[in-house]
Amino acid sequence: MDDPDPDHDGPTNPELAKPGAISDDQPNRQQSGPAVHLLAGNAIARHRQDAPDHHHYDGHDSFRSGAKKAVTNSSPQEFYTSAQWTADGTSLVASSSYNSISTFVLPSDLLDPSSQPRNLAPQSTVRLPEPTQTILPAPYFSLAEAATQTALVGCRDHPLQLYHLFPRDDAPAVPLASYKLIRHETEEFITPSSMLWESPGTHFLCGSANRLDYFDMSRHGSDGPLLTIPTIPSKRHISKGSGVGMKGTVSALAASPMDANGGSIVAAGMWTRWVGLYDLHRSEKVVANWTVSNTDDMDGAAEIGGQGIVQVRWSPCGRYLVVNERQSTGLLVYDIRGSGRLLSVLRGRDAATQQKLTCDVFQGNQYGDASFFEVWAGSKDGSVIVWEDVGTSFGVVEPTWQWKAHESPVGSTILHSSGSVAATCSGGWGAPSDGDIDDDFGEAKSLPNSQRVFDESGVKVWSIVS
């Protein structure tokens, strides 16, 4: 995609169509999976003195000279950390390690046949005042209505803030609204580690150390949360840390699909490897909780490791809960509405890193059993792993198919609601290469940095052709 017209007042309205015949000589394909073709990409530029002048993104993590760049100039330490679809499926919202949010509006002819992948340029970039772990586009986002094009952000040492994703100029972004979340004993701001903002968008939920906070979107300014739910008894309670409640940081939140009565269950995952279920419309008390470290009743489950939950994800039918951990080689699937126990372990995905590598779920067979679904997850080595028919098997489940999407850890893998398009983003910190160490000792005569940013970091959009 070319750079947006600077005279254009707002983004155009792109609608994703059904897959077309994408002209690509080398589709990424493995096992019995569908053909995966790169449609568009954006890479963060790395300016190195010993590197050739690269010019064009060819869709296979390399560049061809002599064509227009599809890169975003940046700090040498910047990389993409996450990507999300907007509610209407027209745009991608990507966050970076350099405290910024970039919004990519996809073209309406994205799936038309093309001889090579397109350039994907951000329509806008919002600079944030401090680092953040939580960015949520509005659940009612519509490209046709400017008032809906917002995102909720939880920055360090700041109140929770609502930003417009398409500011009118390049001036520092000014929040549209603020929501105070403070620790009353010290009056310091609490930085949320997780947030949940579901349709219709009138309320949102934050997770932090030993607490959940429930906010009313209409009560911004000096007001705090409507409700604070401790995950453990009082800090002065004798039972703290003695098996009552869930002690630790709430690092992941997810709401199940609404049932026939409009009810939904919120799953909360902890750095301490606990999961709690809450029905906030009925009670402040936890409905159920358990530790994911207890997998003794399933052979092979303990072998995948895990050092803290980074994501919880409900299946489309609302029966199963997928638990995603850091420093793990698999995903855990629990049968919440059935047996209430661990159903399966999705093995074969290397996420042995402290970095947050998220997964997504999709109702694979639209005409079959609604309780069976797919799980898509990025890995540390740049691959995307897919497990199909999850929910049909008990025990350890191997991947159905996979493809090599990037050359660095895949922070986000997200499916479009159409099922014919997926997006990924990559980047992260890695150990220095032997060449970097030799250069540092040979020329600078100093110790190298213990970590460096991977050379490759980008956002890619793929077509999935069965």
Q: Which residues contact 30 (CB under 8 A, 6 or more apart)?
A: 401, 402, 403
Q: Report yes or no: 94 and 57 within 8 Å, Cβ to Cβ.
A: no
Question: Residue 80's CB: how many other CB atoms inside 10 A?
Answer: 28
Q: Report yes or no: 254 and 270 within 8 Å, Cβ to Cβ.
A: no
Question: Whats the size of the chain, residue-wise?
Answer: 466
Residue type, 195: M
**Cα gap 323→327, rounded to integer Å:** 13
**Cα gap 53→40, rounded to integer Å:** 21
Question: Residue 441 gets which letter from DSSP?
Answer: I
Torsion of CA 19, 22, 24, 28, to 10 degrees: 0
Torsion-angle region of residue 366: left (phi > 0), alpha (psi -120 to 50) or beta? Answer: alpha
pTM of structure: 0.84
Beta strands in 342-457 (DSSP E): 342-351, 359-362, 373-378, 383-390, 395-397, 401-404, 410-415, 421-426, 429-430, 452-453
The single residue listed with the structure tokens 């999300």 is 84
Phi and psi at residue 91, in whole multiples of 5°? Answer: -140, 160
What's the CATH superfamily of 35-44+78-236+243-465?
A: YVTN repeat-like/Quinoprotein amine dehydrogenase (2.130.10.10)
The single residue listed with the structure tokens 């709401």 is 255
Phi and psi at residue 354, in whole multiples of 5°? Answer: -80, -15
**Domain boundaries, given as residue ranges, for the chain:** 35-44+78-236+243-465
Question: Residue 446's CB: how many other CB atoms inside 10 A?
Answer: 8
The single residue listed with the structure tokens 């911004």 is 220
The single residue listed with the structure tokens 């500011």 is 167
Q: Which helix (H) or strand (E) holds 325?
A: strand 320-325
Helix ranges (DSSP H) in 369-454 = 434-439
Q: Report yes or no: 458 and 426 within 8 Å, Cβ to Cβ.
A: yes
Q: What's the pLDDT at 22?
A: 28
Residue type, 405: A
Strand pairing of 177-179 and 56-57?
Answer: unpaired
Tokens for 221?
């300014």
Per-residue pLDDT tens digits of the chain, which is 466 residues long: 434 343 434 444 433 433 333 234 334 444 568 999 999 999 987 654 444 333 333 333 333 333 334 556 556 688 999 999 999 999 999 999 989 999 999 999 999 988 889 999 999 999 998 889 899 999 999 999 999 999 999 999 999 999 999 998 766 789 999 999 999 888 899 999 999 999 999 999 999 999 999 999 999 987 899 999 999 876 655 444 445 678 999 999 999 999 888 889 999 999 999 999 999 988 888 999 999 998 877 888 888 999 999 999 999 999 999 999 999 999 999 999 888 899 999 999 999 999 999 999 999 776 666 679 999 999 999 999 999 999 999 999 999 999 999 999 999 999 999 999 999 999 998 766 555 544 443 444 443 455 688 999 999 999 998 7
Q: Report yes or no: 305 and 250 within 8 Å, Cβ to Cβ.
A: no
CA distances from 438 to 96, 97, 176, 430, 434 (A): 29, 27, 49, 16, 6
Tokens for 383?
């691959």
Q: What's the pLDDT at 302?
A: 86
Tokens for 183?
């620790």
